Structure 1
Amino acid sequence: MLRAFASDGVLAKHIQGFSARQSQVQMAQIISNAIASKGNAVIEAGTGVGKTFAYLIPAMLSGKQVIVSTGSKNLQEQLFLKDLPALTAMLGIAPKLALLKGRNNYLCQYRLDRQMQEASHIEARLLDDLLKINQWAGMSKDGDIGGLTSVAENSPALPLVVSTKETCLGQRCEFYDACFTRKARSRAMDAKIIVVNHHLFFADSVLKDTGFAELLPDPDVVIFDEAHLLPDICVSYFGQQSSSRTIDDYLQKLLQIYQTELSDTGQIAQFCQRCLAKLSDWHNGLFSIAESDWRVLLGNKSIALASWDLLAELTALQKLLLAHVGRSELLDDIAVKLAELNHKLNHFFQCDNPQAAYSVEFGSRFVMLRISPINIARECQQLFVANTSWIFTSATLQVNRSLAHFAKELGISDAKAHILDSPFDYPRQALFCVPRQLGNVANQQQALKQLVDVCVKAIEAAQGRTFILFTSHKMLEQTALALRTRTQYPLLVQGQAGKQSLLTKFRQLGNAVLLGTSSFWEGVDVRGKLLSCVIIDKLPFVSPDEPLYRARADNISRQGGDPFTQVSLPQAIIALKQGVGRLIRDEKDCGVLILCDNRIVNRAYGQAFLNSLPPMARTRDLEQALAFLRQIP
């Protein structure tokens, strides 16, 4: 491994301008040692360390079976299609590689076949897309929807034909031998390096999300890149979620089965219509209040009554279906799944676990019900077993120069912790400005006016080339509206188009201003002169009314702790670091970060933020920041 990184090693021979970075070699050594000793490691590797090669090379040279899990499909594909092939060529080794995505990235031949059987009842435009998918399916080797170019990404045909847990028949399926999802998992079982994403890893490990006998293999090593995302993902997978859309889907399918297969059983249609009426009443009640905390909603008698009425009707339907088991495979399948769903709804409506938050997320027509554990460490300890090396890395894990918060959250306090700082020259490359005379961010109108004034000046000085990152959609919309009449530079606003489309346009224009909320705070890489300024509206503290935070805060308070320092502050620090990380992406970048929130300098907790950020030069003088921007070519 050390020879690979040496000044005369394979990387130097094959990569133009390569020079070994001490922090990169140090990270590779830490990972080699962890693999050799079957130990665990948590590594914050600042931007520019080169962490991808630092973990891939030890993993590949170890000869062990390794799962590499990433936070995004983009990074997953970059590893599999670019980095791993390049390294296998350089290192002269040929381990079996596999890319495994979540099941909804693969075509389901059974669902496609069902759609084609209904072709005469499908409207023309949808049928046209289905015919294109059918033609592609006959030629595709892997069934990966990412390789389907003849149909638009947002085609309404795609959700009808991709693999889902709810519709999977497993070994009972007539397409089982040809199944693309099963074949992809089979390839993963044989591979030495398997690239997955976090959602798939936890779906397989926690939910056993499969209709097949084999899951992900039990590997020798698991490496989590973008590990800062894991606490939120674990909360989702160790909890429970149910969508009212699923209830509606089951009821509509049962009505269809009645019309096509079991027309002699009018009771099924009657029971389904009663359930749909109760579902509508329940939805109307929830949407009229629009409160996200289920414990608060349960205090409303009409909501509580509508909830139990809905469950009573669904349970009656479940009992009726038992009388018809064996008459239709589709009905049998729904009967099993409806029983599982009713059990989940009963568990949610009971709301009797003090160690969990119960929340409702509102969509346009349906709601998602979530039970989220307030402490995931115990579940993680059962998952991160001793016979595997577990390695966690990200550019943003430490809080106030310590990795203890992350390790405690995931129950991995035995892991060796390492902070490897970025090799970039931040004091020279970047200037951090918190302008003087900022008012209280709690006063929204005042905060909006001062933010817009700062943005206008900074955009002018930077000649566009600016990201403005927000903690709320409302502030984004108000700022976008105000800036339209006050700047000549093109504005790209989140929601106008997809994330990747906006980023592509930002790069093409060369003088644009991009306004985005949380999804633009991380996983965005714009290098060089295209991005000179990042403006953040305020410190990204979680809302105190958010149900999971409220439940965690209550639990910590009962134990005599401080919810702000134990939960709210660490989360906000890591989120801010993600936003700040958009600015300097390589050793040639220069730029200015402007934070329009003076709490970072006039509140005691502000020092914890400052200690956790890269060592940028600092100023309170906006004119100095604007002068810095003007001299960037």
Structure 2
Amino acid sequence: MLSDSLKKTIRQAHTNIAEQLEGFRPRAGQNYLVAEIAKTLGGDYHKSQRICVIEAGTGTGKSLAYCLGALPMALAKKKKLIISTATVALQEQLLNKELPFFKEHSGLDFKFDLVKGRQRYICVQKLLAAVSGEETQLSLMPTTSSPLSAMEQRCLQALAKAYQEKRWQGDRDSWADTIPDKVWNLIACDKHACQRQMKSHNLCPFHLARQKIAQMDVLVINHALLLADLELGGGTILSDPEDTFYVIDEAHHLPHITRDFSSAAATIKGTIEWLDKLLKFSGKMANVVVSQKAIGQNFKLNDAANDAGKVLRQVRDMLDQSDYSYNDDDTHRFLHGEVPEQLKARAKDIADATQDALRALSKMHDALTLDVNDGDVQGFLADPILAESGQYINRLEQLNKLWFSYATKGEGTPHARWIKRLDYKHHHDYLLCDCPIEVGFYLKDNLWRECAGAVLCSATLSAMGNFDHFARESGLSNEPGVKYIKADSPFDYAKQAQLHIPHTKTEPTDKAFSDYLAEALPDYLDKKKANLVLFASYWQMDHVVAKLRKQNWQILVQGELSRDELLKRHRAAIDLGAGSILFGTQSLSEGLDLPGKYLENLVITKIPFAVPTSPVEEAQAEFIQSKGGNPFLSITVPDAAKKLVQSCGRLLRKETDSGRITILDRRLVTKRYGKAMLDTLPPFAKQID
């Protein structure tokens, strides 16, 4: 329960902030969020499971709300507050605007910082080795296939000089220019070679950054880093979940990012080639290791790598001779994720062999690390070896993950498994892929039931009037104590915008719909204002653009310029008093901020239904059907409803904005699911012809 002193602290912070915000007006929705977040984290709704899911649209002020509701609680309970986002743009907004302002004016004393993955930092020893000429040793690493070009060499020298002169802190994001991937891969920190317990590495930028974490009250991260920490058991990179309050902003991305993070893939031919290189490398590593503990591990590693390579060749031959049916994308998906027994038996052999290889290589790696610490092996000799063995350890981990899953029986979490034929200039290969269909159980076991508390927020978390779809995807279904909240927007939708659904003479499912759009769109565009037209596919957009340009329409088209350049030209035209027409696909419906005069006319060509064409989406639909469900109503419609809300959300960004939305899809009024979608949109003034 919230104590009186804590309530007073929150109210005072709120008052302090309000006094400093120009033109501040109390917002009932924001006040409600602050109270609900504080009560949730304070245990008012459940003693142990302190989680709330918040849908708060544009203008609600959710970042200020979760700072006011969660930070005083975290400070009082001596918990770390971790704010996780899906986009760099929101991270920058928090770090450069929201948190500095809050710290300066709230009256609360706290420290905050950005936390990045180790791959965003250099390893000083690898940098020194690269610029001193020892990069030739590193060129043997699996990730490097050719020497650096003259331009890449100059970049490497500039990085080293700037770091040594303390003009650069050693992280990729703060370097003003682009660092080529080949250069970065040579010098990036990795968990196997760059270890803090090794004296030569304890001053590397990553480890110095990690030392600061303990001193911070608020950490800003991305969802990928959150999942990386959970995979290591939680509390390895970040603070322990039980000592942490999490704010998951842009939470609608979390299930999909978790699914991608849990996937595994590997080629046959490519794997055989790097296993052969591993055999050569193991001898080189054995010659450097001094520790008696590593004696015999080299032979075990060779035996295991040879066994894995042998079975992989058998799999390659088996796939060459198989009668699997491949689609137009050269992909064969295993129905219900069930791998044939013949392949499953070989998968088990490969999983066992890679596990043995991983165990042996890890022991050699640890032994060499110990040798360096004991002074038995010089660091400059060990560092390139450890870097290379770290690469192989990562690859073996991924390989084992893939083949262990292929060898697993059908019980438990459903997986999508598929094979894609590759043709690299007639040297054919096969890519085998594995991806869990549902990841809610993972988040439930590793995050929701372990953390001190969590606030999940986004502008679009509900679908079709409820949170069921998101709750199932994110592992919150049937969890006790989870509070679901919708915050009222300060916008007066009926006064600020009109939603128009005109008569159309062609259905969106008709082949002639693209030609109809090219014919009808001019009636709904205003050459004197800022227009945004959103399409459901690139093909349809390009088709319409080609026809309209023949009629001399001036159009800015997504994909023809960078996103930044498109928006720059769009705003410049509006600033000059001219109109602008911007065409884009669904990816422009999220994160696009064109307030006021920069967007007054929004046209949505059709309901943004996703066609389940990827193996994962097909497997999801198949799984739901196998349980007696309807994948269209269970997945496709809720996803489309959320996307439609996002699309409509582009028009009004501030309380002073106004404009018109036109949707050229009559299914919103002719289909039962369409009417349900229409009801989930904000209460715009409606004109339905």
Structure 1 length-normalised TM: 0.82
> Is 1:486 the equivalent of 2:512?
no
Change (3 A) 1:489 1:127: same
1:114, 1:464 → 2: CA distance? 57
Q: In the alignment, which residue of structure 1 is the partner of 2:253?
A: 229
Does residue 598 (structure 1) correspond to residue 621 (structure 2)? The answer is no
Match of 1:426 in 2: 493
Counterpart-to-counterpart distance in 1, 2:541 and 2:319: 29
- Tell me if 1:538 matches 2:606: yes
Task: For 1:501 and 1:111, locate their aligned partners in 2 and report how far apart those are by CA, in whole Å.
Answer: 37
Q: Is the CA contact (8 Å cut-off) linking 1:170 and 1:176 kept in structure 2?
A: yes
2:38 to 32, 39, 44: 32
Aligned pairs for 1:57-136 (under 5 A) are 57-62=68-73, 63=75, 64-116=79-131, 117-118=133-134, 121-136=147-162
Q: Distance in 2 between matches of 1:6 and 1:319?
A: 56
Question: Structure 1 residues 515, 2: CA separation in 2 closer, same or farther (over 3 Å shift)?
Answer: farther
CA distance in 2, matches of 1:115, 1:275: 37
- Report the Cα distance in structure 2 between the residues aligned to 1:9 and 1:323, rounded to whole angstroms: 56
Q: 1:450 aligns with which of 498, 509, 516?
A: 516
Structure 1 residue identity aligned to 2:22: Q
Measure, in 1, the Cα distance between the counterparts of 2:414 and 2:315: 25
Q: CA deviation at 1:55?
A: 0.7
1:44 corresponds to 2:69: no
The 3-state SS of whatever aligns with 2:672 is coil
* C-alpha displacement of 1:376: 1.8
Task: Note the C-alpha offset of 1:614.
Answer: 0.9
Matched, 1:16 2:22: yes
Give the whole-Å Cα distance in 1 for the aligned partners of 2:222 and 2:38: 22
- Structure 1 residue matching 2:660: 3-state secondary structure: strand
Distance 1:96 1:50 in 2: 22
Secondary structure at 2:173's aligned position in 1?
A: helix
Residue of structure 1 equivalent to 2:414: 356
The 1:429/1:214 distance shift into structure 2, 3 A limit, reads: closer
Check 1:551–1:17 CA distance in 2 against 1; reply closer, same or farther (3 A cut): same
| Structure 1 residues 325-344: aligned runs within 5 Å | 328-329=385-386, 332-334=389-391, 336-344=393-401
TM-superposed deviation, 1:615: 1.0
Matched residue type, 1:185: R
User: CA offsets per residue over residues 467-491 of structure 1, 9 Å max, x none?
Assistant: 2323333223333333433344341
Q: Which runs of 5+ in 1 are unaligned?
A: 622-633
Distance 1:554 1:297 in 2: 7
Partner of 1:611 in structure 2? Answer: 679
The Cα of 1:34 is off from its aligned counterpart by: 1.4
1:295 equivalenced with 2:352 (yes/no): no
Deviates more, 1:311-320 or 1:466-475: 311-320
Please list the CA deviations of residues 60-84 of structure 1 after superposition, one character each: whole Å capped at 9, or x if unmatched: 3221421111121211121122111
For the pair shown, the structure with the greater C-alpha radius of gyration is 2
Is this contact kept in 2: 1:464–1:489, CA < 8 A? no
Using the TM superposition, give the Cα deviation of residue 204 of structure 1 relative to its aligned residue in structure 2, in angstroms. Answer: 1.0
Aligned letter for 1:136? A
Partner SS for 2:444 = helix
Q: CA deviation at 1:310?
A: 12
In the other structure, the counterpart of 1:205 is 230
Does the aligned pair in 1 maintain the 2:264–2:402 contact within 8 Å?
A: no
Question: C-alpha distance in 2, partners of 1:91/1:98?
Answer: 18
* Cα deviation digits, residues 358-381 of structure 1 (max 9, x gap): 256989979683312335246424
Whether the 8 Å CA contact 1:96–1:191 is kept in 2: the answer is: yes
Q: 46, 54, 57: which one pairs with 2:65?
A: 54
Q: What is the CA–CA distance in structure 2 between the aligned matches of 1:545 and 1:262, rounded to whole Å?
A: 48
Offset of residue 450 of structure 1: 2.1
Counterpart residue number, 1:624 = none
- Aligned position for 2:585: 517
Give the secondary structure class of the aligned counterpart of 2:633: helix
Distance between the aligned counterparts of 2:521 and 2:57, measured in 1? 28
- C-alpha displacement at 1:16, in angstroms? 1.2
Instruction: State the partner residue of 1:345.
Output: 402
- CA distance in structure 1 between the aligned counterparts of 2:597 and 2:638, rounded to whole angstroms: 32
Partners in 2 of 1:254 and 1:416 — Cα distance?
52
Task: Measure how far apart 1:289 and its partner are.
Answer: 5.5
2:290 alignment partner in structure 1: none
Task: Classify 1:18/1:410 alpha carbon distance in 2 versus 1 (closer, same or farther; 3 Å).
Answer: same
Amino acid across the alignment from 1:193: V
* Residues 130, 546 of structure 1: alpha-carbon distance in 2 compared, 3 angstrom cutoff: same
Distance 1:499 1:248, change over 3 A: farther
Cα 1:436–1:283 change in 2 (3 A) is farther
Report how far residue 4 of structure 1 moved: 6.8
- Aligned counterparts, 1:376-455, within 5 A: 376-377=440-441, 379-385=443-449, 388-412=452-476, 413=479, 414-444=481-511, 446-455=512-521
Q: Secondary structure at the match of 1:391?
A: strand
CA RMSD of superposed structures (Å): 4.4
Q: Which stretch shows the higher mean deviation, 333-342 or 571-580?
A: 333-342
Whether contact under 8 Å (1:5, 1:25) holds in the other structure is: no
Corresponding residue for 1:374?
A: 438
Distance 1:504 1:43, change over 3 A: same
C-alpha distance in 1 between matches for 2:531 and 2:318: 45
Paired with 1:97 and 1:361, the residues of 2 have a C-alpha distance of 45
Superposed, which structure 2 residues align to 1:557-576 within 5 Å?
557-576=625-644
Deviation at 1:164, TM superposition (A): 4.8
Q: Deviations over 1:30-53 (max 9, x none)?
A: 111112226221111121111111
Q: CA deviation at 1:20?
A: 1.1
* Separation in 2, partners of 1:509, 1:2: 49
Query: Does the Cα contact within 8 Å between 2:80 and 2:239 map onto a contact in 1?
Result: no
How many Å apart are 1:393 and its aligned residue? 1.2
Give TM-score, length-normalised by structure 2.
0.76
Contact 2:336 2:623 in 1 (8 A): no
Bigger shift: residues 290-299 or 10-19 = 290-299
Please tell me whether the aligned partners of residues 57 and 459 of structure 2 are also in contact (alpha carbons under 8 angstroms): yes
Q: 1:42 to 1:566 in 2, by over 3 A?
A: same
| Cα separation, partners in 2 of 1:480 and 1:364, compared to 1, 3 Å | farther
Deviation at 1:100, TM superposition (A): 0.8
Q: Distance in 2 between matches of 1:498 and 1:281?
A: 44
Cα 1:514/1:181, change in 2 over 3 Å:
farther
Deviations 1:395-427 (A, max 9, x none): 111223322332333233431111112111111
Number of aligned pairs?
A: 610
CA distance in 2, matches of 1:249, 1:464: 58
In structure 2, C-alpha distance between the alignment counterparts of 1:226 and 1:118, rounded to whole Å: 44
Confirm or deny: 8 A CA contact 1:377 1:409 kept in the other structure: no
Render the CA deviation track for 1:558-577: whole Å, top value 9, x for unaligned: 33333222222212211221
State the Cα distance separating 1:613 from its structure 2 match.
Answer: 1.0
Distance 1:364 1:586 in 2: 51
Q: Secondary structure at the match of 1:9?
A: helix
Q: Tell me the distance in 2 between the aligned counterparts of 1:480 and 1:310.
A: 54
Q: Shift of residue 598 of structure 1?
A: 1.9
Residue 627 of structure 1 corresponds to which residue in structure 2?
Answer: none
* SS at structure 1 position matched to 2:42: helix
The verdict on how the C-alpha distance between 1:308 and 1:41 changes in structure 2, with shifts beyond 3 A counting, is closer
- Give, as a single letter, the amino acid of the residue that structure 2 aligns with 1:124: A
Aligned to 2:173: 146
Q: Which moved more, 1:387-396 or 1:540-549?
A: 540-549
**Secondary structure of the structure 2 residue equivalent to 1:157:** helix
Q: Which amino acid aligns with 1:580?
A: C
- Residues 384 and 351 of structure 1: CA distance in aligned 2, closer, same or farther (over 3 Å): same
How far residue 340 of structure 1 moved from its aligned partner, in angstroms, is 2.4
Structure 2 alignment gaps of length 5 or more: 1-6, 137-146, 288-297, 369-384, 425-429
CA pair 187-250 structure 1, distance change in 2 beyond 3 A: farther
Equivalent pair of 1:5/1:12 in contact (CA under 8 Å): no
- What is the CA distance between 1:152 and its match in structure 2? 2.3
CA distance in 1, matches of 2:458, 2:100: 23
Distance 2:251 2:179 in 1: 28
